[in-house]
Amino acid sequence: MLLRIEHLGIAVDSLSESIPIYEALLNTPCYKQEAVSSEGVKTAFFQIGPNKIELLEATSPDSPIAKFLATKGKGFHHVAFETDDIQKEIDRLIASGFELIHHSPKPGADQKVIAFLHPKSSDKLLVELCQDKRDNA
């Protein structure tokens, strides 16, 4: 079951340039930066009450974020929904006719396992499913 919006992902050219902008805008410090090598991305997170913003910077020219930036430029990239059973949610969505990029959970940022839906099956919105790693042992 989907529980809530976990975070909004925003593609940026440079974390070092964007973090100070978002710290001033959101009036809160970046609480975490990390690389997710499997996705070719470096991330930075901001907590706003119960909500999070994730900035995404490409680490290689062939990464999904680099391709997104090349075609669409900086800006909103994806919405992530928290789930209490990511595999069950993947199976439900496939049975409902959605196309997934990942058919099984994979490691993501911020101590999560993740899976993405293909935007062509979700009205051109890139959707990420995520679950805490400790809940998916």
Does the pLDDT of residue 38 top 90, yes or no? no
Segments making up each domain of the chain, as ranges: 2-136
CB atoms under 10 Å from CB of 62, counted, come to 8
Does the pLDDT of residue 2 top 60, yes or no? yes
As beta bridge partners, residue 35 has 42
pTM summary value: 0.91
- Measured in degrees and rounded to the nearest 5, phi and psi for residue 26 equal -90, -10
**Looking up tokens 């999904």, which residue turns up?**
64
As beta bridge partners, residue 127 has 79, 117
For 71-90, the pLDDT digits (tens) are: 999 999 999 999 999 999 99
DSSP state of 100: B
Q: CB-hemisphere CA count at 13 Å for 39?
A: 22
For 96-136, the pLDDT digits (tens) are: 999 999 999 999 999 999 999 999 999 999 999 999 987 65
In this predicted structure, what is the pLDDT of residue 135?
A: 61
Give CA–CA dist 68/73, Å, rounded: 7
> What's the CA angle centered on 124, arms 84 and 41, to 5 degrees?
65
Does the pLDDT of residue 15 top 70, yes or no? yes
CATH superfamily placement of domain 2-136: 2,3-Dihydroxybiphenyl 1,2-Dioxygenase, domain 1 (3.10.180.10)
- Asked if residues 56 and 89 have their Cβ atoms less than 8 Å apart, the reply is no
Does the pLDDT of residue 137 top 50, yes or no? no
What does the mean pLDDT of the chain come to? 95
Identity of the residue numbered 47: Q
In this predicted structure, what is the pLDDT of residue 136?
A: 53
